[in-house]
Amino acid sequence: MPTPITCVADLRDLARKRVPRAFFDYDDRGSYEEVTLRDNRAVFDRIHLRQRVMIDVDRRDLTTEVIGQPLSVPLAIAPTGLTGLTHGSGEILAARAAAAAGIPFCLSTMSICSVEQVAAAVKDPFWFQIYVMRDRGFTRSLITRAREAGCSALMVTADLQIQGQRHREIKNGMTVPPKLTMRNLVDILGKPRWVSGVLSAPSRSFGNLAGQIDGADGLTTLAQWIGNQFDPRLTWDDIGWIRDLWPGKLILKGIMEPDDARSAVKAGVDAIVVSNHGGRQLDGAVASAYALPRVVDAVGNDIEVLFDGGIQTGQALLKSLALGARAGLIGKAFLYGLGAMGQEGVTRVIEILRRELDVSMALTGNTSVRALDRSILLDERGEPWLPLRPTA
């Protein structure tokens, strides 16, 4: 009898069995010694909740609004590269699950299904994530394509000017260009369900790049092109350039410091995402949850603040909202669901987080996600939780 799925961790265990090791590790692991990767989740274990009783919590409201878009729950699906190799048509399946749940889906530039393929497969507008590449002409063309596809927001990733090394990817052959090893081949052949899904998908290469780059069309040649395109010259002037090209809502992802948050306000973006790239870039950076309250305090009500990093339970989502985030983004969590059960798995992840958030909010004596604040947070000793306070 199969083990019941009760939490996101159960879906992670199932995805590990169903997704080839190289692609599972790509989703699951971080850079260098993975200190920041671990801290992103561990910090939530050090933040405790204030339990309240004898408060009427019969009617609870999980709805909110982000950049003018109503959300059924303060959650969005983060942009992740190669999603269509976690499960065939992965971007389309995740976008459909998000739309059905009433939350945003953000498509990555490095997706397998293209922005046009996703737009043709789903009815609801979605967000599009973009990297500012050395080839500014190609960046401009991607912005135009996102606009023509009806994307409702553009998310610029700021923290990948230079790619951090991920040891596990190199060991698994997930390099630029990718290397097919005998170990990988045997692993893939042992996952016929995964193979069938990928082979039947509308795309198996970088969908947003295929056919757009002279002399590069396959996964290997496109990966080589991408490896040379991340631009260390990225500055705030580029955000102004994008603001001129993009008439809709603009989100900047990768903010960890108050000074950068204030600069984002001056640059005219509509929202920022406090994120350390899921521990996949600067190893040794503080956990996103430690950075969040400092950023929120720095910008006040001048800009909407979203959060990314370590949300795999409803309790973690609750804590990030209490720290000041308008909503949380999930990357690894939805990929576990996708790898485990396709669209149904993504739906299960959203439902699990929604249910855990709802129950935990009630047990802290709260009835609205929009009214949460730091007063519900405690440290290990039951004292009010303070940002960056050393643990005992």
| pLDDT one-digit tens code per residue, 81-99 | 999 999 999 999 999 999 9
Could you tell me if 30 and 36 are in contact, meaning their C-beta atoms sit under 8 angstroms apart?
A: yes
Element (H, E) at 75: strand 75-77
Q: State the fold for domain 8-369.
A: TIM Barrel (3.20.20)
Of 228, 229, 209, 234, residue with least CA distance to 219: 209
Through-space distance between the first and last CA atoms of the chain, rounded to whole angstroms: 44
Of 76-80, 119-123, 132-136, 306-310, the range with the lowest mean pLDDT is: 132-136
Helices (H) and strands (E) in the chain, counts: 15, 12
Predicted confidence at residue 218, as pLDDT, reads: 67
Predicted confidence at residue 390, as pLDDT, reads: 40
Asked if the model's pLDDT at residue 252 lies above 90, the reply is: yes
* Domain extent listing, the chain: 8-369
- Cβ count within 10 A of residue 144: 12
Predicted confidence at residue 391, as pLDDT, reads: 41
Predicted confidence at residue 127, as pLDDT, reads: 98
Q: Give the model's confidence band at 217: pLDDT under 50 very low, under 70 low, under 90 confident, else very high.
A: low
Asked if the model's pLDDT at residue 231 lies above 90, the reply is: no
Cis, peptide link before residue 384, omega less than 30° from 0: no
Provide the whole-model pTM: 0.95
Q: Which residues contact 181 (CB under 8 A, 6 or more apart)?
A: 172, 173
* From 48, 87, 167, 277, the catalytic residue: 277
Whether 167 is catalytic: no
Q: Give the model's confidence band at 215: pLDDT under 50 very low, under 70 low, under 90 confident, else very high.
A: low
